Amino acid sequence: MTDEDPIASLATSLERHVGADEEEARDRDRILEFVRRHVDPFARRIAEGHLTGSAIVVSADGGRVLMLHHRKLDRWLQPGGHANPGERTGEEVALREALEETGIVGLELHPNAPRPLDVDVHDIPGRENEPAHQHLDLRYLVTAPEDAAVSPQVEELHALRWTAWEELDDLGPDRGLRRALRKARALVEVRG
């Protein structure tokens, strides 16, 4: 266990993170600048936006990825969301959100994946009680146990399903999510 501040550790990880394309490199720079300016970059009270954590959840054999159809956004996405008070790392946010949204017990960070696997900044439209802002998303590769039992949190999503890598394009992921999924697929070893 290290005594290093988790936000300082995140900044170091981001400094080392190599974007897969120009868009991710710009997003990494934006997130790093944001982290350096805020004591608690996960705080939802920051008007311009906040860090979020998400999980690319792969099956134990590496052959499938778990996707959810988000109720409010009406899109297929990876599990993820906002930090709870006291959470100070993207890893803990991503793992908790994945557990809450999928019900899968025993999710683990992939041992060979960079942390974060991918970064993405995206706009969140304003709603009745919340102004428009940005999510500065830290994405992690997470592995489900072999006996993964899915028990979705139905109030946040329409559907949850294991999807073969070859079928992901049918779900219409945006460019950033496609990039993260490509990275995840390249890292997992499909056992057959």
Mean model confidence pLDDT for the chain: 92
For the CA atoms of 25, 141, 114, 81, the dihedral, rounded to the nearest 10 degrees, stands at 50
Q: How many CB atoms lie within 10 A of CB 176?
A: 20
- Please report whether residue 111 resides in a domain: yes
- Please report whether residue 192 resides in a domain: no
- Please report whether residue 1 resides in a domain: no
Which amino acid belongs to residue 51? Answer: L
- The residues near 60 (Cβ < 8 Å, ≥ 6 apart) are 143, 144, 145, 146, 148
pTM of the model: 0.93
- Please report whether residue 101 resides in a domain: yes
What does 121-137 look like in DSSP terms, one character per residue? Answer: EEEE--BTTB--EEEEE
Counted domains in the chain: 1
Domain that holds residue 11: 6-187
Query: Residues in the chain, how many?
Result: 192
pLDDT bucket at 192, cuts 50 / 70 / 90: very low
Query: What is the SS3 assignment for 182?
Result: helix
For position 58, which CATH number holds? 3.90.79.10
The pLDDT tens digits for 93-148 are 999 999 999 999 999 999 999 999 999 999 988 888 888 999 999 999 999 999 99
- Please report whether residue 170 resides in a domain: yes
pLDDT of residue 164: 96
First vs last Cα of the chain: how many Å apart?
A: 36
Residue 96's closest CA among 77, 115, 112, 109? 109
pLDDT at 189 over 90: no
**Of the listed ranges 3-7, 30-34, 156-160, the one predicted with least confidence:** 156-160
The pLDDT tens digits for 61-90 are 999 999 998 877 789 999 999 999 999 999
What is the distance between the alpha carbons of residues 48 and 60, in angstroms, rounded to a whole number?
38
Averaged pLDDT, 52-56: 98
- Rounded to whole angstroms, what are the CA distances from 144 to 72, 104, 128, 150, 165? 25, 7, 36, 10, 16
- Contact in structure between 121 and 16 (CB atoms under 8 Å): no
pLDDT of residue 154: 65
- Which residue in this structure is represented by tokens 């993405």? 120
pLDDT of residue 168: 96
pLDDT of residue 149: 87
DSSP class of residue 170 equals G
pLDDT of residue 20: 96
